[in-house]
Amino acid sequence: MSRLLDSLPELYRELLPGFFRQDVPEETKATCSNCAMCKDTAQGAVEAVDGVSRFFRPDTKCCTYFPRLPNYLVGALLSDDRPELAEGRRRMEARITSRIGVTPQWVKPPAKFSFLYKNGHQFFGRAASLRCPYYGESSGGCTIWPYREAVCSTFFCKYVAGNDGRKFWMSLKTYLTLTEIQLSRWASLQLLPDYVLSGKDRADRGESTPLAVEDLDDAPPPPRAYADLWKEHAGRELEYYRECYRRVRALTADDLDRLLGFDGHVELKTVETLFATANSPRLPRTLRFNPDATVQWLPDGSVALGAYSDFDAIALPGEAYGLLVEFTGRQPVEAVREHLREHKQADLSEDILLELYRHRILVEA
């Protein structure tokens, strides 16, 4: 096991509260270096939904997403001169030079990408045109990994704790996203007050504005609009981002706590509660077979059952399916188990039932 902090950018190690210093179980089912969702290596994946394959392309894996990087993480990357990050720095500098999606608070996806991402259907992991610009095609890895943002730090295709694990990591993403917003706003306020005081940071967060001609043509914004956004820092963006990193690096945990305020306290409590649930699961008194579960019979007579995620399924012997449908929610779990032992000379152990519940094949009645 490793500490939760160890899965996040190093910058956070002196900033985040004590909760992040505890051990967190490794998500062993999500094998990024040997992608568990590619056809040749897939395990526990529902092969198709509504006739559409759910396998990922080996040249994209789950990296069909364009991260929104806060100014201080951009600066941290640009300030890191390790040779293994040279390609990541080069790509980031090229992105900044392009001026597309480059603001005092973020280096973010182009508006056209955001539109396609929000309105696409069943493309995730399978559309090469939406592959992350920081994805290393030759290595199959991320060129900016130490400085990844909240989404990339918390996404897994499968979770050891099933739906409880997914809820925990999603809550952590919400907390980290709030952290990114507040720290990047604070850094912008120090260096470019007009950006925050005029409300441009709020407009910068929204992605629902109509696409402009420049967005459709993958062109930078008009020079006057860009200069008005960046003021005296136009043309000096690299140094601006590095200074954001230096300023944020000097903050303390108490400083971050004040910046996050009441919302931060609420989100942290949510993370702590869901972490406890994911690591200390409880089997409900009554269970029923989830009517929305996907059921896929395999050539060897076994059955793949999925519910909480299209990416994660449980394979069971075919005869087990006949046992699961006995769970109707009308009787307690122990009564159903006794019925199975008496009338079908079969049983499902508490450990198996707990795993099925965590994956929401069985749900609380």
φ and ψ at residue 134, rounded to 5 degrees: -105, 5
The rounded mean pLDDT for the chain is 93
Could you tell me if 78 and 88 are in contact, meaning their C-beta atoms sit under 8 angstroms apart? no
Helix (H) or strand (E) holding 318: helix 318-324
Same-domain pairing of 165 and 214: yes
125: CB partners within 8 A, 6+ apart: 37, 55, 56, 57, 60, 61, 62, 64
Structure confidence by residue, pLDDT tens digits, 54-81: 789 999 999 999 999 999 999 999 999 9
Tell me the CATH number at 315: 3.90.930
Same-domain pairing of 23 and 172: yes
Among 252, 279, 306, the domain-final residue is 279
Q: What's the domain count of the chain?
A: 2
Same-domain pairing of 57 and 110: yes
Residue 156 clears pLDDT 60, i.e. is over it: yes
Band (207; pLDDT cuts 50, 70, 90):
low
Same-domain pairing of 83 and 142: yes
Residues spanned by the domain of 132 = 2-279
Same-domain pairing of 16 and 122: yes
Cα distance between residue 71 and residue 75, in whole Å: 6
Least confident of 38-52, 211-225, 300-314, 340-354: 38-52
Helix (H) or strand (E) holding 49: strand 48-49
Q: Which residue has the tokens 């990591």?
A: 169
Token code pair at residue 243 = 């200074």
11: CB partners within 8 A, 6+ apart: 72, 73, 76, 245, 248, 249
Cα distance between residue 127 and residue 322, in whole Å: 38
**pTM, 2 dp:** 0.93
Quick one: CA torsion of 72, 75, 77, 81, rounded to 10 degrees? -140
Cα distance between residue 73 and residue 241, in whole Å: 8
Token code pair at residue 58 = 């080996």
Same-domain pairing of 69 and 190: yes
Residue 7 clears pLDDT 90, i.e. is over it: no
Residue 214 clears pLDDT 80, i.e. is over it: yes
Same-domain pairing of 162 and 243: yes
pLDDT of residue 50: 47
Same-domain pairing of 36 and 126: yes
Same-domain pairing of 164 and 236: yes
Residue 38 per-residue DSSP state: B
Same-domain pairing of 353 and 248: no
Same-domain pairing of 189 and 302: no
Could you tell me if 25 and 7 are in contact, meaning their C-beta atoms sit under 8 angstroms apart? no
Among 237, 260, 279, the domain-final residue is 279
DSSP 185-236: HHHHHHH-HHHHHTTHHHHHH---SPPPHHHHTT-PPPHHHHHHHHGGGTT-
Among 279, 303, 333, the domain-final residue is 279
Band (2; pLDDT cuts 50, 70, 90):
confident
Same-domain pairing of 123 and 178: yes
Residue 265 clears pLDDT 80, i.e. is over it: yes
187: CB partners within 8 A, 6+ apart: 71, 72, 244, 247, 248
